[in-house]
Every structure is written in structure tokens, then in C-alpha cells.
Structure 1
Amino acid sequence: MGGCVGRYWEGWEDTQSRGSSRNGGRGGRNEPLKKDRPKWKSDYPMTEGQLRSKRDEFWDTAPAFEGRKEIWDALKAASVALEGSDHELAQAIVDGASITLPHGTLAECYDELGNRYQLPVYCLAPPINLISERSDDDPSDSPEPPVAPKKEFQLKVRLSSGTDLRLSASMADTIGLLKKQLQAQEDIDAGHQRWFFSGKLLTDKTRLQDTKIQKDFVIQVIVNPQALQGPKLSPTTGATATTTIITAASSPASE
């Protein structure tokens, strides 16, 4: 994968190396996850699509390196939650996976076995020279984008409980409309749903055609814990789980 080395501010180090390495000495230091995200500048202006592609490539290949897949999954879920400004959920995911943060960031962290994990800066925040693929003008002053033909297909969504579902959708449908469909199908209040694709929070007015989603790709739906029916037990420890680790899916799902 090509590197994306840029300039960094606010004391953030270049964490472009990926994978994990054995490091038994964490020193017992574990700080809360910081709300601040790193500010960095790419060596070349990146579009939103290029940033998504770099992130997808990293998350698809990271588990192949040393380290535990469940920890990589937790780190991915935490980074998505953090970028969606849900700091409490990100912290709960980190705590639930027993991940130690020596510096209070996901850039460098350790699991309970002492394995070291490093996340590249582009997985933690977009560059300051990101090129928006959509106009920044007020939508009310711009003509409506052409609506895709109403050709229905089965959209696959993955709940934070790990359950995969399919909804009848068309590229012209809005996320708000699909939330209502999911509410009718699974009795999950639309206000308790947050939809993400490629690490980006989707607003109710976003149409599927705006996400550039393709057939067999998956949208993840994080359900507010208040909407869940009672506590669930962790399959590995049997302890009451306070949150669910989500596998953020932005690549074709395996059937």
C-alpha cells in the first residue's frame, strides 16, 4: 500500500507503520481516550474517496499482521465511533476489549497480552487538505442532484449486535427512509440508529447514491444501548457487556 506521509501538528507522531509487535512492557500506564483528533496534512490533496480507499486497504490487511483479529476489530469500531463524535462509545469499546492507551490515543495501544498495535494517522482523522467531493454551497441554493432510477435491490446492513439484515432499497432512498424501514422490521427506534459507511456517518438526508455503495457492500448500524433489550453476556468471558464491538464493513461482505 502506498504511504501517505504528511506533516503533523499537536505532538502527534508519524504512525504510518502498521501491524503490531510484541512489547510486554506497557509500564502500567493507561490514559483515557482523548477527544482531540490529530491534525495533519497529506503530501498531496486527497479526495474523500481516496481517503476511504486507504482506510479500507489498511483495515482489510491489518489482521494479517501480528496481533489478534478481535483487537483489530475493536480498534476499527472505536476509530469509527470517535470520528462520529461518539467519544463515550469509543471509550467503552476500548475498555471492553481491555486495550491500554499509554498516550490516550489509538495511534499506539496494547492488548492485555502486551501486543502493540499502531494505527496510521489517516485512520484517525482526515487531512486538513481533504478535497470534498460535494459542493460546500448551501443545498437550498443548488439544484437537486439527479435521482437514480428506482431500481430496488437487497441492501445488507450489519447491526452493532453482529446481526446481518437485508432491506429492500433503491439508490434514490434516503438514510432516514431506510431507518424507518429498519424500525418497522426490527422494532429499533429510528432515533436510536446511527448509520456508517466507510467510516463516515450518514445523515438522514443522505441518499444511497451519494454513498457510492456497490452491490454486496455493507452498511453498519450502531444501535444506541438504550434501544437494546437488556444486558448481553460476552461470548468469551461471560461478563455483562456494556457495549458491542462492531466490525465496520466497507468492503464486499462474504456470504
Structure 2
Amino acid sequence: MGGCVGRYWEGWEDSQSRGSSRNGGRGARNEPLKKERPKWKSDYPMTEGQLRSKRDEFWDTAPAFEGRKEIWDALKAAAVALEGSDHDLAQAIVDGANITLPHGNLAECYDELGTRYQLPVYCLAPPINLISERCDDDPSDSAEPPVAPKKEFQLKVRLSTGTDLRLSASMADTIGLLKKQLQAQEDIDTSHQRWFFSGKLLPDKTRLQDTKIQKDFVIQVIVNPQALQGPKTPPSPTTTTTTEVGAANPSPTSTSSPESE
């Protein structure tokens, strides 16, 4: 066999990894696939993206060398399964493709025709000096996208009563929040407000930035007529009493001070 596999598969060159030769793999010793993955260190700290690119380059070009494409595909699938800790699946793929493993690993193997295949160590495991491209404090990992800083402007609002108003707003504000601001300013309950823009009803959870509104545009607010009709106030008991007393005794002293009688 050309080239021995070291303890940690160190020092391999890509040309050696892609090369294959026929050297009597048929009938060679076949070991079960081992769960252990090789430990190795890259010549330079490698990022996850660089590792993916290096692997993709190998798998894209490997079938161009000696060997059958279906075997290369099986080896790739087995390597991915093994790295994902699915040892049973990796073993099933190897057995299904009639791949022989003299050393119990994918670094050197043979197909049923005796063709030798070698996989580089970076396709079998990441290096111990791999650099993670994400950190726990990365805002991109949060469930909600970051909200842009508030930049307030005067939002034009036109009520169905014909009144035009201006509300202090930002593009991050929700319609529900602006309804409360209108309620505080005009004493119109939020349940009696319906906001429309471009002919569409705006739900309370909608943000201004989602409506594509610009500073000079106007939002229509339909106000429930019941909100404009104040509750009828019944006559005050004091007023009624005063009127009756005045009718019976028109004297102003009797009305203002009952004790004077």
C-alpha cells in the first residue's frame, strides 16, 4: 500500500488523499467502523467556514480521480453520519456499499473491486484549533430581530370627524401604542379607534415600519360615533331641590340659607 496512515493522520497531502490505487483490497481484512474520531491540529487556526470550504472542495473533486462516484458518495455520507455521532448509520452505509475497512476507519478503505480510497483527516473530524464563528452574545442568535434606534417624527392623523392631528411617533412604534397616545390626547377610547392606511386596516401589533409609511403620509382613523357622544348626565339632586324650593318660596334668603326661617 502506498503511504501509511499515522496515529492521527497527520502530514497527509491532498494529492495523497485523492489518489487511489488497485492493490488487492479484495479479500483484505475488514474491521468494523470505530466510533473514535481522529484528533488533529491544523497548521493554522481554521474557522468553521474554511473547514466547510475545504471539505466541499475535496468532495467535489474526488470523483475526478480513480474510483467510482457511488463509492465516493457513500464515503461522504458515512463521514457525515459518523461526525454526527450516528455510528450505526455510518456502518450501514459502509456495509451497503461493500466497502472494506482494513483499519476500522474511513481514512483508508477499498471497494469490492479492490480500488483504494483515502479520505483526508479534515473530512473525518474538525481540528482541535477550530475557531467558532458565532458567540453566545451574538445578537443574530436572538429570537427577535434588533429594533432600530428610535427616531421620532410628527405623524399626521386624520380623524373621521374631519380633525387633523399630529402624534409624536417613531417607525418602531406599534399601532396599539399610537392608539393609546391618541386616547390620552383626545379622550377617545382605543376600542373605538380603527386605523387605516392605503385602504388596509392596521392591527394593533403592526409597526409603522411595516406599513411603508413616510413622514408626509396621512393615516385615517375611523372613530366610533359612540365615543363622541358623552354619557347623558342626570339632573343633580341639588339642582332639583333648589328649583322646587324656589317655586314654593321665591325668597332668595330661603333658598341660600334654610336656617334663617
- Aligned partner of 2:247 in structure 1 is none
After superposition, the Cα gap between the structure-2 partners of 1:19 and 1:199, relative to the gap in structure 1 and judged at 3 Å, is farther
Structure 2 distance, partners of 1:47, 1:227, is 62
User: Counterpart of 1:133 in 2: which secondary structure?
Assistant: coil
More displaced 10-residue stretch of structure 1: 39-48 or 11-20: 11-20
1:126 deviation in Å?
0.2
After superposition, the Cα gap between the structure-2 partners of 1:110 and 1:201, relative to the gap in structure 1 and judged at 3 Å, is farther
On the 8 A contact 1:8/1:41 being kept in 2, the answer is: no
More displaced 10-residue stretch of structure 1: 2-11 or 165-174: 165-174
1:18 deviation in Å?
1.5
Unaligned runs of 5+ in 2: 244-252
| RMSD (CA atoms) | 29.1
Structure 2 distance, partners of 1:188, 1:223, is 8
After superposition, the Cα gap between the structure-2 partners of 1:98 and 1:131, relative to the gap in structure 1 and judged at 3 Å, is same
- Aligned partner of 1:228 in structure 2 is 228
**Greater strand share, 1 or 2?**
1
User: Counterpart of 2:38 in 1: which secondary structure?
Assistant: coil
After superposition, the Cα gap between the structure-2 partners of 1:200 and 1:87, relative to the gap in structure 1 and judged at 3 Å, is farther
Larger-Rg structure: 2
After superposition, the Cα gap between the structure-2 partners of 1:86 and 1:110, relative to the gap in structure 1 and judged at 3 Å, is same
More displaced 10-residue stretch of structure 1: 55-64 or 16-25: 16-25
Q: Report sequence identity in percent.
A: 92
1:220 deviation in Å?
49
Structure 1 distance, partners of 2:72, 2:158, is 17
More displaced 10-residue stretch of structure 1: 16-25 or 60-69: 16-25
After superposition, the Cα gap between the structure-2 partners of 1:25 and 1:141, relative to the gap in structure 1 and judged at 3 Å, is closer
How high is the TM-score relative to the length of structure 1?
0.50
Structure 2 distance, partners of 1:74, 1:253, is 111
After superposition, the Cα gap between the structure-2 partners of 1:230 and 1:207, relative to the gap in structure 1 and judged at 3 Å, is same
1:17 deviation in Å?
2.5
- Aligned partner of 2:182 in structure 1 is 182
How high is the TM-score relative to the length of structure 2?
0.49
Deviations 1:5-25 (A, max 9, x none): 999379999995213211124
On the 8 A contact 2:21/2:116 being kept in 1, the answer is: yes
Deviations 1:87-144 (A, max 9, x none): 0000000000000000000000000000000000000000000000000569999796
Structure 1 distance, partners of 2:62, 2:257, is 14
Structure 2 distance, partners of 1:4, 1:154, is 75
After superposition, the Cα gap between the structure-2 partners of 1:141 and 1:77, relative to the gap in structure 1 and judged at 3 Å, is closer
On the 8 A contact 2:242/2:255 being kept in 1, the answer is: no
After superposition, the Cα gap between the structure-2 partners of 1:10 and 1:122, relative to the gap in structure 1 and judged at 3 Å, is closer
After superposition, the Cα gap between the structure-2 partners of 1:162 and 1:185, relative to the gap in structure 1 and judged at 3 Å, is same
After superposition, the Cα gap between the structure-2 partners of 1:3 and 1:117, relative to the gap in structure 1 and judged at 3 Å, is closer
After superposition, the Cα gap between the structure-2 partners of 1:30 and 1:170, relative to the gap in structure 1 and judged at 3 Å, is farther
Deviations 1:155-200 (A, max 9, x none): 9999999999999999999999999999999999999999999999
After superposition, the Cα gap between the structure-2 partners of 1:125 and 1:21, relative to the gap in structure 1 and judged at 3 Å, is same
On the 8 A contact 2:102/2:108 being kept in 1, the answer is: yes
**Greater helix share, 1 or 2?**
2
On the 8 A contact 2:107/2:119 being kept in 1, the answer is: yes
On the 8 A contact 1:216/1:253 being kept in 2, the answer is: no
Aligned residues between the structures: 249
After superposition, the Cα gap between the structure-2 partners of 1:44 and 1:21, relative to the gap in structure 1 and judged at 3 Å, is same
User: Counterpart of 2:51 in 1: which secondary structure?
Assistant: helix
On the 8 A contact 1:5/1:16 being kept in 2, the answer is: no
Moved over 4 A (4+): 1-7, 9-16, 136-232, 234-241, 247-255
More displaced 10-residue stretch of structure 1: 87-96 or 4-13: 4-13
After superposition, the Cα gap between the structure-2 partners of 1:253 and 1:93, relative to the gap in structure 1 and judged at 3 Å, is farther
